Each structure stands twice: as C-alpha cells, then as structure tokens.
Amino acid sequence: MIEFACGIPTLLKGDYSDQVSTGIDVFSFREPLGVVAGITPFNFPVMVPLWMAPMAIATGNAFILKPSERDPSASMLLAKLWKQAGLPDGVFQVLHGDKETVDGLLTHPDVDGISFVGSTPIAQYVHETATKHGKRVQALGGAKNHAIIMPDADLDNAADHLAAAAFGSAGERCMAISVAVAVGDAAELLVKKVEERALAVKVKNGTEPDAEMGPVITPASKERIVRIVTEAEAAGAAMVVDGRDLVVPAMKKASGSAPP
C-alpha cells in the first residue's frame, strides 16, 4: 500500500480541454479535502490504517488515526515510523479513546472525511452520523462468508483451506469462513477431514512462533462464542469438535477458546 501511495501522484493530474463546445472550456484540478480521520478495528491494527493514511497523505490531506482501544500500541509504532521517515509534525496524528472520541471526530467541523472499518452496525452509525455533519464517508462493515463444496471437489484441498479460513486470526476477521455447505456425497467425508484438521490446530499463546490459533480479543468475545455454540447444540447441531473447555497452560489468564 505504501508503494502504491508513492506512485499515486501520476493519477492526480488535472485536465484541460478547450472548446469542447462553442465557447466552453473544461478543466479539472486536484483539491485535497483537508483533515480526514480513520477509525480502525482491533484485528488488523497495522494493515487497515495503511489502507487509509498513505493515500490520504499522498493526496494532500492530514490524517488522524483513531485505533481500537483494545490494541493501541501498533498505532504508536506507525506514528513513530512516519516521524522517522521525515513526515512533518501534525500530518499524521493518533487519537486514542472510545465512542466519545469517535463521536467527536464524526461531528467536528474541521474533520472533512471519515474512513471506517468495523462491524456493520457501527459502520451504519458512522455513515449516518458523519454524513449528517457534511462529511465524506467510506464505511466498511462486516462480511459473512460461505463456502460451497461440490461433490467433485478436491476434499483434502478444500478441508485445508476451510480450516485455515475458519481458525486463522482466531476467526476474528471479515474473511473468515463461518459456513461451509457440502453438496451431495461430499458432506460426510468432508466433515471427517475438517475434523482432523481442527483437532490438529495448534492453540497457543499468539506470540509463540508455531501458534496457529491464539486467544480471541476479550473474555466477552470468548463468552459470546461459547454461547453461540451452546445454543446451536441445544437446537440440535451435531458437535464434532468441542473446544469450549480447552485449557492451554500458557493462556490461563487469556481469553483463548479452541476451535469449537
């Protein structure tokens, strides 16, 4: 993204055409918005801000980053790197806080644009509030991804990718697969293959190099996951792999939950 932003000036040139009609000339020119803000989620605390800030700055704007309060340190590292690269003070700023801070950005008259990535309900709130205050807004909400596995699929390959998509980043990403629909004869064998891969997932402290699944972000998130699994079981779902009571020694104080 940084490399793309460095090349973006070639796309910012104005145009001029004279006499497109009798006595009419047409021209366009670049005009930065001014101050724009990015409100980013906890799950990708470096990648998502880098979707926003480099392009905003390269096109002539100042940028305010409001990171998730759940993992604020990555944003400070980004600010340090911008500073080391020679960016003038004030062009990239970090503003920590919760909903009150977000509301301040959404309504402040000196903030001209908002970019948001997060859950769908909050995306709707951000879009509605910011546009009411005359701001340009891009608001990216959550996704719900499904996979369909046909009878002639390579089931080993499908199972590998289903497990990676379901359990990577502890499932806390919008690209995660939460529903897999196996068609016809694929179903029974696919369930067995996914079960094998789920049981093999290395659930460890997320800082360990060989960890394949670390803890979810908060104890409340774990409780929500356990509740959903429990409700599904009560409704008649067959439990193939149950990770609700898994205890990982290195994560006793964390909010880890195994692949349910």
CATH superfamily of 145-220: Aldehyde Dehydrogenase; Chain A, domain 2 (3.40.309.10)
Q: How confident is the model at residue 165, as a pLDDT?
A: 93
In terms of DSSP H, where are the helices of the chain? 2-6, 47-58, 73-84, 99-107, 120-132, 155-167, 186-200, 219-234
* Sequence ranges of the domains in the chain: 1-140, 145-220
For residue 177, the one-letter residue type is I
pLDDT tens track for 117-162: 999 999 999 999 999 999 999 999 988 889 999 999 999 999 999 9
Q: Give the global pTM.
A: 0.87
DSSP 8-state assignment for residue 86? T
pLDDT tier at 252 (50, 70, 90 boundaries)? low
Give mean pLDDT, residues 213-228. 92
Q: How confident is the model at residue 245, as a pLDDT?
A: 85
Q: Is domain 1-140 in CATH 3.40.605.10, yes or no?
A: yes
> How far does the chain reach from its first CA to its final CA, in angstroms?
35
pLDDT tier at 93 (50, 70, 90 boundaries)? very high
Q: Which positions are catalytic?
A: 174
